[in-house]
Structures are given as structure tokens and as C-alpha cells.
Chains A and B, each alone.
Chain A
Amino acid sequence: MTTLEKMIREIKELTPMPAVANRLLEMIEEPDSSINDIARIIQYDPVMTVDILKICNSAYLGLKIPAESIKDAVNMLGTDQIVQLAMVKSSAKVLSGHQQGYGLEQGDMWRYSVSSAVIAKQVALRLGLNNKSTIFTAALIKDIGKIILEKYVFKDYKKIDTLVKKSGYSFREAEKKVLGIDHAELGALIGKIWKFSPRMIKLIQHHHLRDDSMMNDKEVAGVYLADCICMMMGNGVGADGLSYRFKDQLMKIHNISHSDITAIMAEFGVNMNEVKILLKMAQ
């Protein structure tokens, strides 16, 4: 069995994200989807319904009248917020473990993922992207490949680390060189097996901008930028550290200035409580 075949077998052994997450992912990409459509999908999952109503009626969201149904919740808080809560809840189990190969303790990657997603909302606003939930979700699950690749990274960590420290490779490039696949590609493979939409698979696959031609894609740029900013903030970063490439050119293409980056960071600095609440809520 080749290494790739082994990885595919491991992906198939993973407990996938709940079906409701997949249906929501499809739905948020449909421009015509209505509040009723979103509510109907969530209602199919009674556990998710109860969890979301609990969060919606918590002090954090401060609803004046309690939401008694998902439809109420969507009406009061908007589609984006409900979808984002559902996606955080759905991906918690998959992403909250420890990833020894990346030097990540229990919950580190999960904290990083939620922080990235919260930052991505600001980036989406700056880039004028309409579908904030897609960018939020992609930023949340982009590192999913690490949950499989970490064992392989652990075994060959010295080789990867040497390429990064001595030969100028980025961590992703070193993964590819040593293991034949990097965590972004493997994440995209998980997305294919779990039947994510082609758009979500693309966003996962290119979140480190492995292919410069993807720079023009505004959504790819949004997820990439949210990841860079989160990496700089350091919250939940592992042994791969900041060893990924920063593309100045992308900033020019999308007309993003240094002030835009610092403004997004400052905004995150005052909104960090949102990360804490989302983490607590997903427990």
C-alpha cells in the first residue's frame, strides 16, 4: 500500500463532519437560498437545533425575545450568524484534538481555526466579499489536512525542519518534498471524500497560495490573508510557526495596504472575546 493509499484509508476511518454541515455548505453557495431553506436543514439535526437555540438564547447574543425555533433564530440574528455557529459546532470534534507532529497541544489547532475564521470575517468585509459564511467556513476548516498528515510529519520532522531552517523551504513546501503531499492538498482530498463543494475544496487547497495564478481569486486571497494575519497573532500556532510565504503581490492586486492589515489586527484585538465565546460554545 502506498503512503497516499494509507492516508486515504485513514481519511475514510475519520468520523466526518455531520451531514447538516455539508448541506449548509451547499446552501450558503446558492444565491437564492432562503431563511426557510437554512432553517429546514438545521432542523433535520435535533442535537444541532438544541445547541444553536441554547447559544442564541445565551446572554452573549442578548436577544430581547427568546428564539423558540431555528427560524426565529435566523430571523433575529441573520443567516450568516446562524450558519457560522452551526459550522463551528460541526467542526469542533474533528479539529479539537492534539497534533503532535505539528507540536500542537490539545485544542491549539481548534483555537487557531476559530481565530482565523473570526479574522476572515473582517478580511471579507475589507475585500468586499458578499459570501462571508463561505470565507468564514473555509478559514475554519482549511487546516483539516493536518489531522491526518501530523503522524507523517512527526515521523519525518527532522527532515522537514532541516529543509525549512537550512534550505529556505516553507513548511508546506518541505511537507510536499519529504512526504509527497502537503497539508493543504490532503485537506482538499478530505474535502473531496467528504463531498465538500468544489469551491470549498479549492479554498482549502490554495490557502497557502501554492499556485501564484490563484492570487487573483478574491475568495482564495481572503482565506489566505486571514491565515497570514492569524499566524502573525500567534494564537494556537504550532512547530511550523510562521514558516509560510507572504505574497506582497497579492496585496497590490487586491489593493490592500499596510494600514488595512493593522486595522484588521486591531479589530481582532478588541473582538477576541468572540473567539472565547465560540470556543466555549462548541465544547
Chain B
Amino acid sequence: MKRNYDIETLISNFKNKDKRALSRLISIIENHPEKAADIFKNFGNIKHDSYIVGITGSPGVGKSTLTGAISKKLLDEGKSVGIISVDPTSPFSGGAFLGDRVRMTDVSLHPNIFIRSLASRGYRGGISRAVLDITLLYEAFGMDFILIETVGVGQSEFEIYNLAYTIVVVLVPGYGDSIQMQKAGIIEIGDIYDVNKKDLGGDDVAAHVDMMLDDSTFQSGWRPPIVQTNAHTGEGVDELMENIYEHKEHLELSEVLRERKKNRFAYKVRELLYKKIDNVLVSLISQDEINEISTAAIDHKFQIYDAVHDLFSNVKFERKKND
């Protein structure tokens, strides 16, 4: 029952717009990140013209339904849409229950959409390691828009900021008071704030966000608008779309878009580097040694700082300069 992973054939099918090939390439990148280099060799001249929107917020605020509603509008306008929806991987079993797609059944048969559910697979920050690479595949596939829906996030998971150009932070009635709005993190990163589940209220949340924004400075000259939607019925989604287009135009005219695009790749470069260093670190200390240090600590010989310090006292990192 197992699969043919011939990358050359997949690439050529991919270039003929075969969704099966796109899907299989995503799997390869997810399962074998080391093969990404081989795959992207074939896409040296990708245009990074797809517009990337990030949709983030706590669990259950309606991100998936909203993502479905946004994509429906885009499809109606004749645009093509690639969706990446991330849900958490269990730290216990390594399994995942991916329940985002089920909110998007209405649009799932449209020829111009591709929806992929991802498990976070231990990656922190509200996304998964493969997300950036998948956006590259969507770009190569020619998607006009890419929507990235994060894991249901808490206060400090905002890696999406590095990957998307317009961030929609989704809130719901009962989110919190004006103190909650002053906290650093997720509430700071919105380019647009959407108070969803309008049928349950939320005017107070919208007012609190507005006051929070009154206390903020906007270096780029963009003051994030606040929208109220009912993603389920589609109410307010037109207004949300208008705001996404306005923000897009703002980024294009102010050339911030170029910065955000660059930021994506800087993020990836750092991540690749961390991964390499991580591999080096793992080779420097064994699980047994970690175990030994931790066991000593609970047996009243708490020396974890010294132990790690000693371990690395003879290790020097140096980048060789080319002559």
C-alpha cells in the first residue's frame, strides 16, 4: 500500500497543476525536512506573489469557520486559495485530532482551493515546522492567496508574525477587560482585529481593543481596524475582506511588504541554523548524561548549572573563514 516517492515525477506533475503531486510533496517536506533542498532546487524562480494572511486566536474562537468564510469570498472573486490549518500534536501519544477542515466543507470542492491540515508535531509558536515550506509550494503552485490558520493560541504564540503579511487576530465576546488588552504578546500583533461570534455580543471587547489601540503607536502608519463578524452566517465578512485588501494596499504602497517578505526568509534561515546547531548539541550530550545530572539534583546534589558549564567548558564554536 505504500507510496511512490519519486521526486522528479512529482515535480513534473506538480508543474501540470496536479493536486495529488502538491499533496505528496507536502508530505515529503513534513516527514523528511532534509529533502526540502532537493525539492526546491526545481523551483529556483518561484515568484513570491501570493498574498499571505495569518488567522490566529484562542481555541474555539472560530478561526476555521472564518478561514472558510474568507476563502469563499476569495473564490467568488476568482482567486485561488491555499489553506494551511494547524492543530496541536499530543505530547503524550504523538497523535493529533485535526478538526479544522470539517468547518470548511462548503468550499472544499471548489477547483481553485487546496486545504491541508497539519499537526504541530512538537513545534512551538502556534504553527508547525513545515508551514513556511508549504507556503513556498503554494506560491510555486500559483495560489493568489495563502491563508494560514494557527493552532488555537494562548498569549505568547506568535510565530505567525514571521510568516504572514496581514495578521487577523480573532477574539470573541467575553475575551477580557482593558487590563487583558495591555498585555504583551498575541494582542499586539494584529493588523486587523476581528471580534467574532457577533450574535453573542462583543461590543465591549471591540471597545477595549479600540482603547488599547489608542495607547499604541503605529510606526508604519497603519492603525489596525476592528471588525465584528459572525463567521457562521458570513455577517461582517465583507468588511473584514475590505480591511484585508486595504492593509495589503498599505503594505504595498509603503514598501513594508518587501520587508515582511524578507522577514519570512530571515526567519527560515535562522530556523535552519538552529536546527543544525541543535543537531550538534544533541551529539555533545547524551540522554544518559542528562539523566545522571538530573538524578544527582534530586538526590540533594543540585549542580545542574555547574554540570552543564563543565560539560561545555572545552567546547568552542567557531565559524571557519574562507580564504
* A, B assembled together: no
